[in-house]
Structure 1
Amino acid sequence: MKNTSRRNFIEKSLQVATAGTALTVMTQSNSEAAVPKALPIFSHHVFFWLKDSKDKKAYDQLLAGLKGLGKIEQIKQAHIGKASINDFDKPVTDASYTFSVLLLFASKEDEEKYLVHPLHKKFIEDHKHLWSKVVVYDSIAL
């Protein structure tokens, strides 16, 4: 086993703890220990309601379209989810939507590029007839 210093151990532990997330990076100067630093992450959270929630074909079509958005290079991470009515028993939880899409970007500017990207515009054009309502929540990390 390789001999490691306490500093190296802490650095590696922090890297492992943050692996797979684009939310932190390690910074280090010659005189400072590694400190997690938040990246300027911009989140774009979109909720979709199908016109007919029982229409399997529309459901599958919208899901395929949402998955296709992942090809857009500005997206750093994506999560597509659906409401799980059995798991939402809290009175403050809204489970009326069909799909939830959470997209993470390195910056607001990247999100703005995504909004005008040809694949995003095509997604809207090809699928807007399927939904009755769309709600968007955008936020920037503190």
Structure 2
Amino acid sequence: MEIYQQAKEFITKCYTEIKQVEKIESRLIEIENELKESGHYEHTAIELEHGAKMAWRNSNKCIGRLFWSSLRVIDAREKTSEEEVYQAIKEHIKFATNDGRIIPTITIFAPKVQGNQQFRLWNHQLIRYAGYEQ
């Protein structure tokens, strides 16, 4: 069960870093049960947020990773229609650009689960690095 081993590694690191070690064992039991039941598991909001921050922090090629702890994570996994996803993207851009005072932000949508892919965003970044008219 490779997924479980990867989950165990992530959960252990995540909850250790956020100083909630006492939750590791019970969370791993929940994950194991979810995997047996459905073949996948869903991250909690805490795991999603800290996991995104960990990913940015460990991204060797990104100079911006120095600001990993300030990353704002928007959980949009419940967005199910094209209109909801579109609105979430617009809200992301408005929030992250913050009238020119950039806020490091990621909006996370639901993953593809068992062949059910609802949406695909073709751009890996909605807006690239600073672009100015002058």
Q: TM-score, normalised by structure 2?
A: 0.28
Larger Rg: 1
Q: Which has the higher contact order (CA 8 A, sep 6+)?
A: 1
Structure with the higher fraction of residues in strand conformation: 1
